[in-house]
Amino acid sequence: MQKLNDDNYYSQAANEAFFSVSQYKDFCKCEAMALAKIRGEFEQKQTKAMLIGTLVDRWFEGTLDKLREESPNIFYCRNGALRADFRKADEIIKRVQKDDRFMLYMSGEKQKILTFEMFGAPWKMKMDSFVQDICITDLKVVQNFKSLAFWRYDLQGAVYQAGVETCGYGRLPFYLAATTKEAVTDFDIFQIDQPTLDMALREIEGKLPRFIAVKAGLEKPHYCGVCDYCKSVKKARIRNYSELLEG
Ligand SMILES: [Zn+2]
């Protein structure tokens, strides 16, 4: 695998060669789905709600124009105006832009890619904002603050902190620059504290040997049976109607 850059970071070759936070989370959810994604046999459908986050990401990255060229019909109408579904992204950008602290945490080097070895496997990561010697910040556009914990960003913080340290940049704090898609946008900077990051890293260390073996084809993947991938490859079973009435 050659050096990772913006063009090949999300490629199949890169996903086969490296673990990433999202790949690790896929393995936790369903090993069969994770493998299918790595092999390019399955792609998670992007919802409109997720694409609002993409727009905000790309604005901070300074690549909105490129996005407009790449996918002209998804985000924009023929007359060039942003589609109604995505106006929330515009509102969020306009709101956080007026906040000095939010912009300060997002003012680092954008989309910096690092690769490193950890727990016996090669890893890749891409940071939203990296301020050398100061902090790592990841931008999150979520439904509301309560949903932040659901997405397990502690795992991301743990890997990013470890990656930055392994690559010789020292141990830096990890922050989420979070904004909400609520009717009136809320936004704050959340620090994930060190004990939480340490615990998340230990969790990854514990689970990774199994995932490395599955990814290498040494062990058979477990099928969760309920995810979109499992549904797409399943065969019909005879089931008892009564099981639907339980619980
Ligand atoms: Zn599954």
- Tell me what the mean pLDDT of segment 139-164 comes to: 95
Q: For the chain, what is the mean pLDDT?
A: 94
Give yes or no for residue 72 having a pLDDT over 80: no
Neighbouring CB atoms inside 10 A of 152's CB total: 16
Interval between CA 114 and ligand 1 midpoint (Å): 29
The CATH number of whichever domain residue 106 belongs to comes to: 3.90.320.10
Q: Cα separation of 12 and 14, whole Å?
A: 5
Reported as a single tens digit per residue, the pLDDT across 169-185 is 999 999 999 999 999 99
State the sign of the Cα–Cα–Cα–Cα dihedral 138, 140, 144, 149. Answer: negative
Please give the pLDDT value at position 78.
81
Asked if the structure places residue 26 within a domain, the reply is no
Query: Closest Cα to residue 53, out of 173, 176, 191?
Result: 176
Asked if the structure places residue 25 within a domain, the reply is no
Tokens of 48: 């409109």
Interval between CA 126 and ligand 1 midpoint (Å): 26
Tokens of 77: 């109408």
Interval between CA 219 and ligand 1 midpoint (Å): 16
Give yes or no for residue 239 having a pLDDT over 80: yes
| List of residues 6+ apart from 132 with CB closer than 8 A | 108, 109, 169
> Which of 7-16, 44-53, 74-83 has the highest average model confidence (pLDDT)?
7-16
- Look at 29 and 47; give whichever has higher pLDDT: 29
Interval between CA 136 and ligand 1 midpoint (Å): 32
Number of domains forming the structure of the chain: 1
Interval between CA 221 and ligand 1 midpoint (Å): 10
Asked if the structure places residue 137 within a domain, the reply is yes
pLDDT band at 247 (very low <50, low <70, confident <90, very high): low
Asked if the structure places residue 154 within a domain, the reply is yes
Cα–Cα distances in angstroms (integers) from residue 12 to residues 9, 36, 202, in the given order: 9, 11, 28
Asked if the structure places residue 196 within a domain, the reply is yes
Please give the pLDDT value at position 21.
98
Domain of 158, in residue numbers: 99-215
Interval between CA 220 and ligand 1 midpoint (Å): 13
| List of residues 6+ apart from 120 with CB closer than 8 A | 208, 209, 212
Asked if the structure places residue 247 within a domain, the reply is no
End-to-end CA distance of the chain: 49
Interval between CA 137 and ligand 1 midpoint (Å): 31
What percentage of the chain has pLDDT greater than the value 70? Answer: 100
Interval between CA 45 and ligand 1 midpoint (Å): 15
Cα 49 off chain centre by: 14
Question: Considering only 58-67, 198-207, 225-234, which range has the smallest mean pLDDT?
Answer: 58-67
Asked if the structure places residue 170 within a domain, the reply is yes
- Tell me what the mean pLDDT of segment 211-232 comes to: 97
Amino acid at 190: F
pLDDT band at 46 (very low <50, low <70, confident <90, very high): confident
Question: Residue 192 — φ and ψ, nearest 5°?
Answer: -90, 115
Q: Which helix (H) or strand (E) holds 176?
A: strand 174-180
Instruction: Describe the crossing of helices 194-215 and 31-38 by its angle, rounded to 10 degrees.
Output: 70
Q: Beta strands 174-180 and 112-118: pairing type?
A: unpaired
Cα 52 off chain centre by: 14
Contact 221/31 with Cβ under 8 angstroms?
Answer: yes
Question: Considering only 59-73, 139-153, 172-186, which range has the smallest mean pLDDT?
Answer: 59-73
Q: Cα separation of 46 and 55, whole Å?
A: 13
Cα–Cα distances in angstroms (integers) from residue 189 to residues 31, 44, 102, 123, in the given order: 33, 29, 7, 26
- Tell me what the mean pLDDT of segment 229-242 comes to: 95
Interval between CA 127 and ligand 1 midpoint (Å): 28
Asked if the structure places residue 80 within a domain, the reply is no
pTM as predicted: 0.93
Reported as a single tens digit per residue, the pLDDT across 102-141 is 999 999 999 999 999 999 999 999 999 999 999 999 999 9
Interval between CA 21 and ligand 1 midpoint (Å): 18
